[in-house]
């Protein structure tokens, strides 16, 4: 594992940045009234887990001054697919309830290390929040014995904050960002049908190899496992160290070249990249690994519905198994 020397990447060139625990502590010194540094707990667990992120936040441990972002609540209403990206109105409403302001610097973390945090950090940046960092990571923060709050609370908002007047992008700005960073089922299906998917995109699936191959079951009952035609299996754990921090750019470069023969850092390819997983959460682990850590210049889009949507909607001949 490398000793990461950087503190922050440049916000002007990235949608968001990673921050180490020690750099986060330094960042706190810049917190002032009206422009706070707000830790945002994004802890979420798979549906087959006995744990509950919101319950843990309220009853157990959290970073001091943290609010809680509920992935399952801040989502597209009445969707049959879990935690799909919400309409701007829902996002604005929930951020306002949390007491987060547009001027605040938000540092997203999750208690698994790097798991659901990337999805939430990316969501904030997608909807136009300008100062967003992803903590890399909470486990090393805790190991360093930095301050934590163990007092039970009854509210998931920023402590002491009232409802804010949060605002987001214009509809036109959001549509542009959305189309650049997200791919929907209908477009992906047409790419598969036409045979253009393999020609135009590298598709990385963050689920386990067994689920990708179709040999292991999905965690959601009744859902077939398998993969989208031409997709490549890149389980998200492969881009992380044992302590659940991101591997270095050099390690990611070596991984991609040895397993897939791909040089994404220096590629002059006109291909894009699509990342997916079970429900669009761990796919963003890959997106940020490739964008921020590796530094690829190729555009990366998230298939928001991911395998849960594809397995329920795609024709059976487009569900491949090994």
Give the CATH number for residue 280.
Answer: 3.40.250.10
239 with 200, same domain: the answer is yes
Judge whether 7 lies within some domain. Answer: no
In a domain, 78, yes or no: yes
Give the integer Cα–Cα distance in Å for 301 and 183: 6
Distance of alpha carbon 269 from alpha carbon 275, whole angstroms: 17
**Where does the chain have alpha helices with state H?**
21-28, 53-59, 88-98, 117-126, 138-143, 171-181, 185-194, 197-200, 209-213, 249-260, 283-288, 306-313
Number of domains in the chain: 2
Same domain, 198 and 231: yes
Taking the C-alpha atoms of residue 186 and residue 138, their distance in angstroms, rounded to an integer, is 37
Q: Which pLDDT belongs to residue 132?
A: 96
End-to-end CA distance of the chain: 33
In a domain, 138, yes or no: yes
Which residues constitute the domain of residue 282? 184-318
What CA–CA distance (Å, rounded) separates 291 from 90? 27
Residue 10: pLDDT above 60? no
Phi-psi region of 8 (alpha: psi -120 to 50; beta: other; left: phi over 0): beta
311 with 200, same domain: the answer is yes
Active site positions, annotated = 277
SS3 state at 8: coil
Rounded to an integer, the average pLDDT of 154-173 is 93
Note whether 163 and 34 are same-domain residues: yes
Shared domain for 156 and 215, answered yes or no, is no
**Residues 211-231: tens digit of each pLDDT:** 999 999 999 889 999 999 999
Residue 5 lies in a domain: no
Q: What is the pTM (predicted TM-score) of this model?
A: 0.93
The span from the CA of 81 to the CA of 213, in Å, is 22
The pLDDT value recorded for residue 15 is 55
Does residue 6 lie in a domain region? no
Do 148 and 221 fall within a single domain?
no
pLDDT at 312: 97
Same domain as 198, residue 160: no
């Amino acid at each position: 594992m490398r000793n990461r020397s950087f503190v922050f990447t440049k916000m002007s060139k990235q949608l968001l940045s990673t921050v180490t625990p020690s750099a986060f502590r330094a960042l706190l010194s810049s917190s002032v009234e009206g422009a706070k540094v707000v830790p945002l707990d994004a802890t979420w667990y798979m549906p087959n887990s006995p744990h509950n992120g919101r319950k843990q936040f309220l009853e157990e441990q959290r970073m001091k001054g943290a609010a809680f972002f509920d992935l399952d609540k801040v989502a597209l209403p009445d969707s049959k697919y879990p935690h799909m990206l919400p309409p701007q109105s829902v996002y604005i409403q929930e951020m306002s309830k949390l007491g987060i302001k547009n001027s605040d610097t938000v540092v997203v973390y999750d208690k698994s290390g790097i798991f659901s945090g990337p999805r939430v950090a990316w969501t904030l940046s997608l909807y136009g929040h300008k100062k967003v960092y992803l903590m890399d990571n909470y486990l090393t923060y805790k190991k360093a014995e930095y301050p934590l709050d163990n007092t039970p609370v009854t509210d998931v908002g920023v402590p002491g904050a009232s409802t804010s007047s949060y605002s987001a992008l214009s509809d036109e700005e959001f549509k542009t960002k959305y189309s650049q960073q997200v791919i929907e089922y209908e477009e992906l299906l047409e790419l598969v049908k036409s045979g253009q998917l393999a020609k135009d995109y590298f598709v990385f699936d963050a689920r386990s190899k067994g689920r990708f191959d179709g040999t292991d079951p999905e965690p959601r009952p009744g859902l077939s496992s398998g993969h989208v035609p031409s997709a490549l299996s890149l389980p998200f754990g492969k881009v992380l160290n044992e302590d659940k921090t991101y591997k270095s750019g050099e390690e990611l470069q070596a991984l991609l070249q040895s397993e897939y023969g791909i040089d994404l850092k220096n590629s002059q390819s006109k291909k894009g990249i699509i990342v997916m997983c079970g429900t669009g959460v761990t796919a963003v682990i890959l997106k940020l690994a490739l964008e921020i850590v590796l530094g690829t210049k190729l555009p990366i889009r998230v298939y928001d519905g991911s395998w849960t949507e594809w397995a329920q909607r795609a024709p059976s001949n487009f569900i491949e198994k090994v």
